[in-house]
Structure 1
Amino acid sequence: MSLELTVPVPRLTVITLGVSDMCASIAFYDALGFSRRLKATGEAVAFYDTGGPVLALFPWDQLAADACLPDDPRPAAFRGTTLAWNCRTREEVDAVLAFALSKGARLLKAGCATDYGGYCGYFADPDGHVWEAVVAPGIEVGEDRRVHLAE
């Protein structure tokens, strides 16, 4: 007897960040201008429309428990993951960095030229999740806010 495996269509639909303080994180991402959806969830979980995959915020300890991982110790250092805010111009990168800082982000790296012909800078949200503001060759941001990659 042969079992035929159905191959699912790969997709990235939600990026969930574990956060220490739901109120503070909701206020931060609201202030960045992301559009919160399903507000009926209150502070239990927060969902944001990003123009692509959904960004979700969930209490760190509950997220760890849900994934069957220990809540402690929490990594204090870089976790090997960044979130990107792709921009259309170098000026937009600098504007995103300044805007994020004005809303409580911490600057990790000021905008600067990259070795691949782009321009980027980094900031961290209140829980230390790292964001890159970037403009890069071959990656365009359309009017639909979605990233379009060159062939």
Structure 2
Amino acid sequence: MVMQRVSLITIGALNLRILRSFYKSLGWEESEISSDRYAVFKTAGVILTLFPINELAEDAGVQITHNFENYRGVSFAINVDKPEEVDVTIEEIRIAGGKILREPSDAFWGGRTAYFADPENNLWEVAWNPTAIFDERGAMISF
């Protein structure tokens, strides 16, 4: 059986310098293991890394066959503790240069949600879920 655990997510960066700068402008701190070749951010749940997309493809043994300047078919999420934190977080992202795709609104499932794209159009949701449970580190353990 494969362990049911997501521990690290890597975003293939088209321009590592710009992407690193964006996440740092959100107030996210880089880990001491970051280098000129990649960036590592510790989050409440998983480790987020930024790695040059061509090197990531080479490491995986695949060829890049699509232009990923729009939507890559994956989204990430920042889940917050209170509904009003969706709005506050989106404003902070807007100030940092994130592209707001969907303004904060109440969701049909009872929560509050919004979407933004980072400088390379990686899709992020900011959401409050009334049934979400977080551990002491802030990692979501149930929703």
Under a length normalisation based on structure 1, what TM-score does the superposition of the two structures give?
0.85
Map 1:78-97 onto structure 2 (within 5 A).
78-97=71-90
Could you list the per-position Cα deviations for residues 96-151 of structure 1 after superposition, in whole angstroms to 9, with x for gaps in the alignment? 1110111111010000111100110000001100110000121134552222425x
Given the alignment of the two structures, is residue 100 of structure 1 paired with residue 100 of structure 2, yes or no?
A: no
Counterpart Cα distance in 2 of 1:68 and 1:125: 26
Map of 1:16 onto structure 2: 10
Residue type of the partner of 2:107?
A: T
- Listed as ranges, the matches of 1:28-43 within 5 Å are 28-39=22-33, 41-43=34-36
Code of the aligned partner of 1:24: I
Gaps of 5+ in 2: none
| Distance apart, 1:74 and its partner CA | 2.1
Q: Helix, strand or coil for the counterpart of 2:17?
A: helix
Where 2:94 maps in the other structure, the secondary structure is helix
Alignment of 1:2-151 (within 5 A): 7-39=1-33, 41-141=34-134, 144-149=137-142
Gaps of 5+ in 1: 1-6
1:26-79 deviation per Cα after TM superposition (whole angstroms, max 9, x unaligned): 11111112221134x422111110111100000011112212222343234422
Code of the residue aligned with 1:17 in structure 2: it is: I
Percent of aligned pairs with the same amino acid: 28
Is the 8 Å Cα contact of residues 38 and 46 (structure 1) preserved in structure 2? no
Q: For this pair of structures, how many residues does the alignment match?
A: 143
Aligned amino acid, residue 108 of structure 1? L
Query: 2:69 touches 2:120 (CA, 8 Å); kept in 1?
Result: no
CA distance in 2, matches of 1:140, 1:111: 21
Question: For 2:134 and 2:94, how far apart are their aligned partners in 1?
Answer: 22
Amino acid at match of 1:128: N
Is the Cα–Cα contact under 8 Å of residues 88 and 140 in structure 1 kept in the other structure?
no
Q: Which amino acid aligns with 1:103?
A: A
Opposite residue 105 of structure 2, the aligned amino acid is C
- What is the DSSP-based 3-state SS (H/G/I as helix, E as strand, rest coil) of the residue aligned with 1:35? coil
